Amino acid sequence: MYTSIEIVKSKKTSFFTTIILLLLYLIYKVLFKIMTAPFYFFKYKILKRPRKLKIKIESDNVIVENEKYHLTLIGIEKEEEVYSLAKNFCETINEDTDIIDVFIVKSHNFSTDIDGFCVTSFILKLNDHVLLQRIRKVNKKILTSDLIQFCPSTGTFEVIEEIGLFELSEYDDKKKTISGYNLNSEEDIYIKILDKNNF
């Protein structure tokens, strides 16, 4: 099944607007800390309750898990061939980053067409397929990325559209829109899912 999309690139908000939003966010965080401090003091200091660590659950990285296929995202080690590809992509999105937010698709049972693909952490599960962002090089030189559609019942995929040097980050279910960004660019990207019968 093919998903129709419409891609729109828009100018980012002004520096002044960004500063105002950042200040409002910081004010909110400070007020929240002030209001919750007595509660935590009472809970951990007076009642001596043990603190619980927040651990990322491995199932968050599951792409598909059914009777036939079990696909997950695994981290990339420095020794692997795709490490430089992942590093270059992340630095292109944000030159100040030291985090590699790109993974390899690993199959734990039957093989699929996307085994070994280099993808971002963006996973959008729809009714009968999954959208992913694949990272690749054109002619082994030009870095780019694609929005791909994986079919969990057949193990096959289709390239929906090349989206270039943007990292997809959020999906708005009401607007049926995927948003992406590049901190080194003056543009953001918005992908409108036009085929609403798939949801």
Given a contact cutoff of 8 angstroms between Cβ atoms, the answer to whether 81 and 140 are in contact is no
Distance CA 24, CA 18 (A): 10
Residue 15: HSE in the Cβ half-sphere, 13 Å Cα cutoff = 0
Condensed to tens digits (0 to 9), the pLDDT of residues 77-123 reads 877 788 888 888 988 888 777 677 788 999 988 999 999 999 998 99
Q: Which residues pair with 144 in a beta bridge?
A: 136
Condensed to tens digits (0 to 9), the pLDDT of residues 118-162 reads 999 899 988 789 999 999 999 888 999 999 999 999 999 999 999
The b-or-e profile of 55-94 (16+ CB within 10 A means b, else e) is eeeeeebebbeeeebbbbbeebeeeeebbebbbebbebbe
The Cα-based distances of 54 to 29, 57, 99, 119, 160 in angstroms read 19, 9, 19, 25, 36
